[in-house]
Amino acid sequence: MAIVTGRTNGDTGGSEATGTPVPADTGIPARTGTDRPSPRAVPETGRIRQPVALIRLLAGLVAVALTLLLADYAQATTGGIAADVAGAAELVPRPLAGLAGGLTTAAVLLLPVVLAARRLLGPDRRRALQQVSDGLLAAVLAYGATLALDLWADRFAPVSLLAALTQGRPDGVLGHTEPVYGYLAPVLAFMTASGTRERRVPWAVLTLSGLAGLAGGYATPTALLLGLLIGWTGAHGTLYAVGTPDPLPRPGDILRALHESGLRPVEAHPAGPDRYLVHQGDDRPGLDVQLLDRQAVTAAAVQRAWRRLRLRTAPHPRALRSPRAGLEHEALVTYAALAAGVRTRRIAATAGLGQDTALIAYERLPGRTLDLLADQEITDELLADAWRQLARLQRREVAHRALVPSSLLVDGTGAVHLVDFADGDIAASELVLRCDLAQLLTTLALRAGAARSVRTAVAVLGPDTVGAALPLLQPIALARSTRHALKRADRATATAARTGGTTARAGGTAKVLPAPRTAPDTAAADGAAGGLLEEIRAEVLRTRPQAVVRPVRLERLKPRTLLAVVGGVVAGWLLIPQLFAAEDNPIAAVADADPAWLALALVAAALSHVTAAMGFVGFVPERLDFRNAVLAQLAGAFAKLVSPGGVGGVALNTRLLQQAGIPTAQALSSVGVGQLIGLVLHLLQLGAFVYLLDLQPGGSELDALPAVVGGLAGAAALLAVVSAVPPARRWLAARLRPLTAEVLPRLLDLLRSPARLAVGLTGQLMVSICLIGCLYCCTRAIGREPSFASVAVVFLVGNAAGNVAPTPGGAGAVDGALITLLQQTASMEKGGALAAVAMYRLLTLILPVLPGWAAMTWLQRRRAL
């Protein structure tokens, strides 16, 4: 093993420390159980792809796209800014503007040469050469991107966009200026990719060059902005494509930084990625050194930001931290834990290693983490000691946030030390502290079982405190590694329950042990069905029966809701310009609508909720309150705002049945039966109206029939291909198994009640008829006279598109499909189609929102939802 010593003469930090990882009993936690990204491995090339480069690349591309969109759609604003700048530039004497332009252009061209020479003459010439090469590559790519965008703007871009990006040439020559001010892009790309630290002078040169371009009339503000964005984006795209030299310091740098902090480091051994075990002289204790670099901080930033957006228990500090800020935060929480009397590693030193890396050195604490202990070593006294350490943290309102096995270090005497406070908080809220309690309950239960974990917790904390953690015993409140361990343990327990075996947890995983061929008892079956979390809840309730069990809502925002909101914004962005781009103003057409037809459309929209309630209750054998069913369908109009397609209505109907006392499986089956029959009736209606439309005069030119037939033929061909491939066939069978297991038996039960089934079928048919009537009345209200059959085909096809769109109420997909089909199938002009669809969506999507909210609130107060 090669060793780096701190007593070598003339150590410049260029020597390397290599060796095998330190054994597990050195007291260095592996940190593999937290939610942080796994430490990265440096390739043989010595380059790594940093996540921050990808994030900035995507942000730059979005910024370029938004700049182009705003330049095209907000022409009045961009044109006004350009006119104001041009007016100010006329005040500058032309000779002075020309002289400034020439000088700044020369300075911009010389700037990369000066920066490259300064870097190459520095101490670390090898690293400087790599960075200068990266800068040159980024400059070439950025300049090529500006040329490509100039060519696209001149030949393919809309005339309005070209006018917003350019202006007449100031030298009197025919033509216009360049759409992108390309002098700045390669220089900025070189500065960014080469890692230039001193940026005051370069940025001053770039600023003067940009002002000279504006004053001389050689660029517009938008073209100038695009040049800067392309340079910045191209630099980060290059850095992500080719990677950057490994920014981690060498062992000699670490030893020097520790020596300057007053320590006596002698030698350093690599102890894993980003970690070193340092020995000291003078019989001083060893050090566990943890490096915090910008890549690790940025990789965790996305996860931290997502948790902050989604969870109520997310950390309060800002999501993006510099390495120095991360070091300060970890040190602060560690000092708070020490002040609370918690056993943990003491901080020996902290130091910064440049702008991109920092280190924190702990006094070495020999021991093993919980996941490395044998089962017989996990005694009740050890579990109780872990709870005592947590109790001290909770008394001082300090949260750990990552109480996973790798954060519980057990020394040679069996004492538990809590380590790794990088994700911790001080002055934590009660909700976060209870999450720590739930996390430790689960962590210990995975190793020692639910009974021992709860028993020792109650002995130390008391039944009231442990009972307060019950609402937080849910997977989303636990660390990611804990969730994965729970899934593995639950699968092993379920396998044991099916085969009559037992499970044994060793090393944090559950293993199935064979058992005699006897049927599993009820307790084992229940445990298999409920999982380890249910076992913990049952143990807690034995000691505290009156404890609150209802889970606390921890999610602020679900991924599906975020997708729906983003989809709605995009749909609005695409549709709003069409309202003003149409030849006939649809807003004026709606304002001049026929009141009689408009009233009929409103009545048809209102009746659709009543018929939807009929189609719902008709497929439920149990007796339901029809008034509540109607209000639930109205509440579904409010749920559309935060759910795609018909997802919100399905969830509300299922919840209504559950609150009516119907078991969950049967409730889901009833809703599934209604959805299945609704799909069949939808296809039958579409075929019938296509046939009727084909019989009308001019029906031979119908475009809808080939599309419908082609779609059905494509679906049949896809089904045949899936059925022919064994893995795909098994996947399809797994998806259809719930249908055959629950929905079809429920449908057979309904066949015994023909009257109720007739109500359901009538309701499902009338829902479509009412909505078709609403759209038809909207077209008549604006003075158009399409046939009812053509409007029916338009609605049925457009509604099918809306049900698969991940946007609120199918926004965007439904509107675009209806507008296009009204033009093609009903022979309506674009302005009329826009007006009819806008009126229809106003009556069926916008107006029911407030009554839907009132209906949902009323049902919730009556505990019907």
pLDDT in tens, 292-310: 766 666 556 556 666 666 6
* Res. 448 pLDDT band, cuts 50 70 90: very high
Cα atoms found within 13 Å of the Cα of residue 556, Cβ hemisphere only: 10
According to DSSP, residue 547 is labeled S
Non-local CB neighbours of 449 within 8 Å, separated by 6+ positions:
505
Mean pLDDT of 233-249: 81
Asked if pLDDT for residue 398 goes beyond 90, the answer is: yes
Answer yes or no: is pLDDT of 396 > 90. yes
pLDDT over 70 percentage in the chain: 69
For residue 452, the model assigns a pLDDT of: 94
Kindly tell me the burial class for residue 727, based on how many C-beta atoms sit within 10 Å of its own C-beta (0-12, 13-18, 19 or more): exposed
pLDDT of 466 reads 92
Q: In this predicted structure, what is the pLDDT of residue 50?
A: 74
Query: Has residue 778 got a pLDDT over 80?
Result: yes
Cα-atom radius of gyration of the chain, to the nearest Å?
34
Structure tokens at 492: 């092993």
Which residues, in sequence order, are CB contacts of 59 under 8 Å at separation 6+?
none
Distance CA 842, CA 777 (A): 13
Task: Reply yes or no on whether the pLDDT at 42 is more than 80.
Answer: no
Helix axes 704-724, 664-695, angle to 10 degrees: 140
Residue 253 clears pLDDT 90, i.e. is over it: no
pLDDT value of residue 848:
85
Range with the largest mean pLDDT of 331-340, 426-435, 758-767, 824-833: 331-340
pLDDT at res. 418? 94
**Residue-wise pLDDT tens digits, 583-625:** 455 556 666 778 888 899 999 999 998 998 888 888 787 788 8
Helix (H) or strand (E) holding 514: none
CA distance 857 to 853: 6
Per-residue tokens: 498: 């099916």
Q: What is the pTM of this model?
A: 0.55
Average pLDDT rounded to a whole number, residues 168-185: 77
Name the more confident of 478 and 441: 441
pLDDT of residue 301: 59
- Integer Cα distance of 307 and 316 in angstroms: 11
Residue range 838-865, pLDDT digits in tens: 888 888 887 888 888 888 888 878 878 7
**What are the distances in angstroms from CA 106 to CA 118, 218, 556?**
18, 16, 54
CA 679 to chain centre: 32
Instruction: Answer whether 689's CB lies under 8 Å from 791's CB.
Output: no
Binned at pLDDT 50, 70 and 90, residue 21 comes out as: very low
The highest-confidence range among 262-271, 347-356, 646-655, by mean pLDDT, is 262-271
Q: In whole angstroms, give the CA distance from residue 487 to residue 510.
A: 10
pLDDT at 344: 93
For residue 326, give both structure tokens.
Answer: 């991360």
Q: CA separation (Å) from 683 to 47, 148, 435, 583, 688? A: 57, 48, 49, 35, 9
More confident residue, 807 or 327: 327
- The percent of the chain in helix, strand and coil, each rounded to the nearest 5, is 65, 10, 30
| Cα–Cα dist 126/121, whole Å | 10
CA–CA gap between residue 527 and residue 451 (Å, rounded): 12
Residue 44 has pLDDT above 60, yes or no: no
- Taking the C-alpha atoms of residue 403 and residue 419, their distance in angstroms, rounded to an integer, is 9
pLDDT at res. 679? 80
Burial class (CB in 10 A: 0-12, 13-18, 19+), 57: buried
Report pLDDT for 118.
80
Containing 305, the helix (H) or strand (E) segment is helix 294-310
The CA distance from 295 to 243, in Å, is: 12
518 pLDDT above the threshold of 50: no
| Averaged confidence pLDDT in the chain | 75
Residue 311 DSSP one-character state = B
